[in-house]
Structure 1
Amino acid sequence: MRKNVITIAITLAAAASIFAVISYNSAKMDAVNNPVNSPVVNVAVQLPEVAVMAVTKNRYQAQVIGYGEVQSRYQLTLTSEVSGQVESIGKNFATGKLFKQGDVVIHINDIDYQQALSSAQVAVADAKLALLEEQRQGLQARLEWKNSGISGEPDSPLVLREPQLIAAQATLNNAQSQLTKAQRDLDKTAITAPFPALVVSRDVQLGSYLQEGNSIATLYSTDRVEIEIPLSAHQWSSLPNMSGDVEGEWPVTLTNTTGDNQWQGYVARVEQHLDNSSRQRSLVVVVDQPLAQNTPLFPGTFVTATVAGKVLDDLWQLPASAIAQNGEVWYIAADGNLATFTANQQFAQGELSYIKPMAGMDSANIIIRPLNSYVQGMQVIAKLSNPSEIQLANAKHTAVNTDDTTKVMTVNRALTVNNASVKL
């Protein structure tokens, strides 16, 4: 009897539990099927704030930026024109030293050449004597022919010694040529710098024996350096029309790769052909007396050339940071939301870029530093920045970290809470 009572009690408790669960689930289902009866959750909308700058059309002078390597006007491998042993060398004949034009670089032993010169002088003297004798004999022969009473000219020119006179004259001419060559060879034993030169390499020593054509040194001229600056067709369009020789008419600022030194040069000429490899045409920029500058400009230096170009109208001036990596510029549209267009950049100068405005737009509020997460029509709060703030922001600009990017990407994401759509 007691066992039956316990069984009945357990059964009643289980039935009550099942009824409670069913009632709870029914209530939940009613809440889902009848959302009108559910409470509404209010979520605050937090729009992102973006820094913008106001831009308007204006006139700016274009600047064309190019790159090149400084090269000497002349780069010469100095060679020997005569053979012999190096008897002496110039006091400045060492790498890094300078020669004036006409300074002796080396002197070759000239005894053999002095002897050759003496022999040539003797040959010239003998040839002159022979010519004088032949001229006298010719006059004597003509006089004898006249006194012979024979009319007309002799049957052979040998009678009047005309061929002998021609031969004597030719012998003298040859002797004089030999003398000239002997003198030249003697002069070439003293090998001089053909222009103001820097010694780049030295290929002989005191006592070296040179054959004709052997290398002596590599010399770079020091009176001027030249820099070929290849430019694209777009860059050429930003420059005034230049052709042929324009030396001294167009100034150029040159800066080294570290940016701590500058030199002033000028456009000497423009190339009239396209380079086979780059398919570009070059400006040739010149700096006179490069080693005499306050900071010497050495051959082999890589430089950035800044060339003043045309004055262009109706351009917007933007910080370079306003142009995204894909070339787009973001701005605040008339409805206050984000919009974008592809930049048509005309030229750049330092941290500034100059672009053509969108058709029909004279002014705009441009996003100073757009993010990759921006989308067309995105709602934002625009904060107008003045030029000093923009300059400071550019100076302190660093890459956006991952956490900040993640936070920004959550903006404008639609969440549905109890059938209410809001933008965060």
Structure 2
Amino acid sequence: MSRKNVRRLVLVLALLFLVVVFVYSGVRMAENMNKLQETPPIQEPQRPTVNVVEVTPGTYRAKVEGVGSAEALFELDLNSRINGQVISVSDSFNSGRLVVQGEVLATLEDSQWQAELASAREAQAEALVSYLEEEQEAQQAEQEWSSSGISGSPLSTLALREPQLAAAQAALDSSRQAVAEAEKNLASTQIKAPFDAIVIGRSISPGSYAQAGNEIGQLLSADRVEVVIPLSASDWSVLPDEDELVSGRLSVELTQIETGEQWIGSVIRTEKNLNSDTRQRALVVAVDEPLVQEPNLYPGTFLKAQIPGRSVANLWKLPASALSQREEILTVSEEGLLTAHPANIIFSDQQHLYVQRPEGYDQATVVIQPLSSYSEGMAVTPQSELSDD
């Protein structure tokens, strides 16, 4: 074959190849266009599965929770009522020690007060002599007036020595008061505990000088602690009336928040004013003989109180997890649609919410773990769990 014919053959083959490529590309483009013009099938949106519980209204006894700290009934900065040098201090007068009412905590040097008492008694004796003498003279003056035969009363009471006798009586009374004051001062050289107490601190030592009115120590009463528990208006609404609260028949469970140790107290009074900052009113719970309790209940202990309330009807008892981030309760309709309700929580405990059932609802299916993405009208697939009643 000549070179010219070979060229022609190559040219023909190249043209055929181009034609085949063009035709193939056109067919593929047409197929792609047809696919693009096809309408995709409508897919049903997927419904999320939600955990639910079936609830019905019931009657439950409220339990109101609050927090407060145990405080001693009395807190005293102990002072000396007289001046004097400290000559001895009791071993019991140290921080952390228990002292009983009347126990001597410290003794002051008393020579000054012994002398004062002796002087006051001497003055009293002199005043008594003066009074007795004046009384005798008054009796004699009255006898002389009666025997004088003069009718009527003297022009002046001085004649019968009535003012002189009154002055002598006043001086005697004053001397007696001076003796009583001197005896009290002498007794004050022994500084005693005014009540059963815990010693918090001591500011004197043997050889130091106590000034009248200056602090010598700090005491906390040991016979009772009180726990002041602020409560909101909604808490008060589910508590019994005041007569029942302070009757002594209600036991209040007190739990130390850090350790879980527990004590039983009783309501002794309710405050009659609202706190200006929190707008709450307080309930006061007392525990007697706190340091005889097992375990000991120390002043300053931070406590959680559980106070029994009254029975409330038409409540749903729900797991605490049923409350959404929007403070709502979500129910599921028969069609699987969500409905949101404001959570009207009447009371609660660590595990449960007790909510007023929404108007028009009796039995309901409630979502127990609502997510923030759940919304009103959303279609869901409920997955039932056992009722939490």
Equivalent-residue separation in structure 2 for 1:236 and 1:128 (angstroms): 66
Report if aligned partners of 2:69, 2:302 keep a CA contact under 8 Å in 1: yes
Q: 2:177 corresponds to which residue?
A: 177
Q: Given the superposition, is the C-alpha separation of residues 198 and 357 from structure 1 closer, same or farther in structure 2, using an over 3 Å criterion?
A: same
Q: Does 1:32 align with 2:48?
A: no
Report if aligned partners of 2:77, 2:217 keep a CA contact under 8 Å in 1: yes
Report if aligned partners of 2:253, 2:262 keep a CA contact under 8 Å in 1: yes
Pairs aligned (count): 385
Alignment of 1:218-367 (within 5 A): 218-242=218-242, 246-258=246-258, 260-367=260-367
Equivalent-residue separation in structure 1 for 2:142 and 2:345 (angstroms): 93
Q: CA deviation at 1:146?
A: 4.0
Q: Given the superposition, is the C-alpha separation of residues 191 and 13 from structure 1 closer, same or farther in structure 2, using an over 3 Å criterion?
A: same
Q: Given the superposition, is the C-alpha separation of residues 382 and 155 from structure 1 closer, same or farther in structure 2, using an over 3 Å criterion?
A: closer
Alignment of 1:81-92 (within 5 A): 81-92=81-92
Q: Which stretch shifts more, 376-385 or 316-325?
A: 376-385
Q: 2:136 corresponds to which residue?
A: 136
Q: 2:157 corresponds to which residue?
A: 157
Report if aligned partners of 1:243, 1:270 keep a CA contact under 8 Å in 2: no
Q: CA deviation at 1:9?
A: 6.6
Report the 3-state secondary structure (helix = DSSP H, G, I; strand = E; otherwise coil) of the residue aligned with 2:291: helix
Q: 2:217 corresponds to which residue?
A: 217
Q: 2:188 corresponds to which residue?
A: 188
Report if aligned partners of 1:244, 1:270 keep a CA contact under 8 Å in 2: no
Q: 1:383 corresponds to which residue?
A: 383
Q: CA deviation at 1:16?
A: 5.2
Q: CA deviation at 1:112?
A: 1.0
Equivalent-residue separation in structure 1 for 2:53 and 2:64 (angstroms): 25
Report if aligned partners of 2:66, 2:230 keep a CA contact under 8 Å in 1: yes
Per-residue CA deviation, residues 280-323 of structure 1 (Å, 9 max, x unaligned), is 11100111111111111111111111011010111111110111
Report if aligned partners of 1:243, 1:269 keep a CA contact under 8 Å in 2: no
With normalisation by structure 2, the TM-score equals 0.90
With normalisation by structure 1, the TM-score equals 0.83
Q: 1:416 corresponds to which residue?
A: none
Per-residue CA deviation, residues 67-98 of structure 1 (Å, 9 max, x unaligned), is 11110111111111111011222221111100
Q: Does 1:369 align with 2:369?
A: yes
Equivalent-residue separation in structure 1 for 2:54 and 2:133 (angstroms): 102
Equivalent-residue separation in structure 1 for 2:244 and 2:122 (angstroms): 54
Q: CA deviation at 1:244?
A: 10
Specify the code of the residue in structure 2 equivalent to 1:251.
Answer: S
> Where does the alignment leave 5 or more consecutive residues of structure 1 unmatched?
392-424
Report the 3-state secondary structure (helix = DSSP H, G, I; strand = E; otherwise coil) of the residue aligned with 1:265: strand
Q: Which stretch shifts more, 43-52 or 77-86?
A: 43-52
Report if aligned partners of 1:327, 1:342 keep a CA contact under 8 Å in 2: yes
Per-residue CA deviation, residues 328-387 of structure 1 (Å, 9 max, x unaligned), is 222321113333322211111221111111222211222222222223444443332226
Report if aligned partners of 1:247, 1:269 keep a CA contact under 8 Å in 2: no
Equivalent-residue separation in structure 2 for 1:360 and 1:149 (angstroms): 109
Equivalent-residue separation in structure 1 for 2:319 and 2:146 (angstroms): 105
Report the 3-state secondary structure (helix = DSSP H, G, I; strand = E; otherwise coil) of the residue aligned with 1:279: coil
CA RMSD of aligned residues (A): 2.7
Q: 1:72 corresponds to which residue?
A: 72
Specify the code of the residue in structure 1 equivalent to 2:33.
Answer: M
Identity %: 38
Specify the code of the residue in structure 2 equivalent to 1:61.
Answer: R
Q: Given the superposition, is the C-alpha separation of residues 376 and 273 from structure 1 closer, same or farther in structure 2, using an over 3 Å criterion?
A: closer
Equivalent-residue separation in structure 2 for 1:244 and 1:277 (angstroms): 28
Equivalent-residue separation in structure 2 for 1:176 and 1:294 (angstroms): 51
Report if aligned partners of 1:231, 1:280 keep a CA contact under 8 Å in 2: yes
Q: Given the superposition, is the C-alpha separation of residues 377 and 142 from structure 1 closer, same or farther in structure 2, using an over 3 Å criterion?
A: closer
Report if aligned partners of 1:254, 1:306 keep a CA contact under 8 Å in 2: yes
Per-residue CA deviation, residues 167-189 of structure 1 (Å, 9 max, x unaligned), is 11111111111011101111111
Q: CA deviation at 1:51?
A: 2.5
Equivalent-residue separation in structure 1 for 2:244 and 2:61 (angstroms): 23
Q: Does 1:49 align with 2:49?
A: yes
Report the 3-state secondary structure (helix = DSSP H, G, I; strand = E; otherwise coil) of the residue aligned with 1:290: coil
Q: Given the superposition, is the C-alpha separation of residues 313 and 149 from structure 1 closer, same or farther in structure 2, using an over 3 Å criterion?
A: closer
Q: Which stretch shifts more, 176-185 or 245-254?
A: 245-254
Report the 3-state secondary structure (helix = DSSP H, G, I; strand = E; otherwise coil) of the residue aligned with 2:160: coil
Equivalent-residue separation in structure 2 for 1:27 and 1:244 (angstroms): 87
Report if aligned partners of 2:325, 2:372 keep a CA contact under 8 Å in 1: no
Report the 3-state secondary structure (helix = DSSP H, G, I; strand = E; otherwise coil) of the residue aligned with 1:206: coil
Report the 3-state secondary structure (helix = DSSP H, G, I; strand = E; otherwise coil) of the residue aligned with 1:359: coil
Q: Given the superposition, is the C-alpha separation of residues 97 and 171 from structure 1 closer, same or farther in structure 2, using an over 3 Å criterion?
A: same
Q: Which stretch shifts more, 174-183 or 19-28?
A: 19-28
Equivalent-residue separation in structure 2 for 1:357 and 1:222 (angstroms): 47
Q: Given the superposition, is the C-alpha separation of residues 326 and 111 from structure 1 closer, same or farther in structure 2, using an over 3 Å criterion?
A: same
Q: 1:103 corresponds to which residue?
A: 103
Equivalent-residue separation in structure 1 for 2:293 and 2:232 (angstroms): 30
Specify the code of the residue in structure 2 equivalent to 1:179.
Answer: V
Specify the code of the residue in structure 2 equivalent to 1:159.
Answer: A
